[in-house]
Amino acid sequence: MSRVYNFSAGPSAFPEAVLQQAQAEMLEWRDSGMSVMEMSHRGKFFSQIAEELESDLRQLMAIPENYKVLFLQGGASGQFSFIPLNILNGKTKACYVNTGAWSEKAIQDAKGQCEVVVSASSHDKNFTYIPATVSWQIDPSAAYLHYTSNETIHGVEFQAVPDAQGLTLVSDMSSNILSRQVDVSRFGLIYAGTQKNMGPAGVTVVIVREDLVGHAVKGVPPVFDYAQQVKNGSMLNTPATYNWYLVGLVLKWLKDQGGVPAIEQRNVKKAEKLYSTIDQSSFYKNPVEKSVRSRMNVPFILADEALDKPFLAAAEANGLFELKGHRSVGGMRASIYNAMPESGVDALCEFIKEFERTH
């Protein structure tokens, strides 16, 4: 069996070392005599897994002590609604920055819970840029300012933490968490689905400052209430135990790579190689403003749309899979998350050049 290079936007490629370890531990985790899938989430063995999981994430992200870390279900999409339910704290407005498809979804869901002020939007140019922060219209009476740090579909990424102008800053980091260094203390709340840089689908990480916990609106189901989840160690209901374990393995792998600073350097190098290959050709084009191009998701289009299917077929024949762009934008998209080795990007760059030469 030969493994392919998987450029899927999520669920995405896993580090091979993690898959091998999970395979080796499938029947028995350490000396427990059982698989992780069989363990009680209240038992001593899984308690150790859970404690190491939180400890490793805190270490990797340098999470301050006054932040709670939750491992929940429902995906980042669930948090689109749960965040305003938990942190409006009596206010009626929230500010959102609209830079792509996931920002739009967050805005739409939040509208069911509060008045949404769209402080800035790049919809006018099909989400190919990020509006300058000096132009943002931030309402000081709002409970928080929300932004999506990386847009997987449109390939736009914030290269620095924006100024919230006094508001609590909230960010969806689903597709770039742990890919670059970030100062957690700048945020009131960070959330992310794990299926891109952290593990399999099925776990949602919420990192929330203590003072924002305990203000859920009346009538919120306990499973959606941050205070209840904090009180119960994210186990108000039975968690996705095996997925927690896999996320934990990925975090340990990342520590072995040198942590976030080391993986960020590799991500910069991979992205520079791919963008350089695209930019040097008139056969391919990336539509995103260079200063805000994503390191994680690289969309590109061919000069002739009729060549899209032949390109994808030839790519798969060369072991390069999941390069089709999102259906809403078309073209191609290469997702090069932490687990994508530099050799995969090298192979893609060589294929891109060869396909141009032959077509």
**Where does 259-358 sit in CATH, by number?**
3.90.1150.10
Q: Which residue of the set 56, 109, 172, 225 is catalytic?
A: 172
- 172 noted as active-site residue: yes
Q: Which residue of the set 29, 109, 196, 244 is catalytic?
A: 196
Q: Residues 55-63: what's their mean pLDDT? A: 98
CB 60 within 8 A of CB 338: no
Fold of 17-256: Aspartate Aminotransferase; domain 2 (3.40.640)
Q: Residues 143-158: what's their mean pLDDT? A: 98
* Distance separating alpha carbons of residues 294 and 335, to the nearest angstrom: 10
3-class DSSP state for residue 348?
Answer: helix
* Distance separating alpha carbons of residues 25 and 74, to the nearest angstrom: 27
- Name beta bridge partners: 145: 95, 169
Q: List, for residues 156-206, the tens digit of each pLDDT value.
A: 999 999 999 999 999 999 999 999 999 999 999 999 999 999 999 999 999
pLDDT of residue 277: 98
Counting residues of the chain whose pLDDT is more than 90, the rounded percentage is: 98
Taking all residues of the chain, what is their mean pLDDT, rounded to a whole number?
97
Cβ-Cβ contacts under 8 Å for 122 (sequence gap 6 or more): 98, 99, 100, 128, 129, 130, 131, 156
Q: Which residue of the set 29, 56, 68, 102 is catalytic?
A: 102
Q: List, for residues 307-344, the tens digit of each pLDDT value.
A: 999 999 999 999 999 999 998 888 999 999 999 999 99
φ, ψ of residue 326 in degrees (nearest 5): -60, 145
The closest of 16, 82, 49, 71 to 194, measured between CA atoms, is 71
Provide CATH 3.90.1150.10 ranges for the chain: 259-358
* Distance separating alpha carbons of residues 223 and 211, to the nearest angstrom: 19
Instruction: Please determine, for residue 1, whether its predicted confidence score (pLDDT) is greater than 70.
Output: no
Provide CATH 3.40.640.10 ranges for the chain: 17-256
* Distance separating alpha carbons of residues 289 and 293, to the nearest angstrom: 6
Predicted TM-score (pTM) of this structure: 0.97
- 196 noted as active-site residue: yes
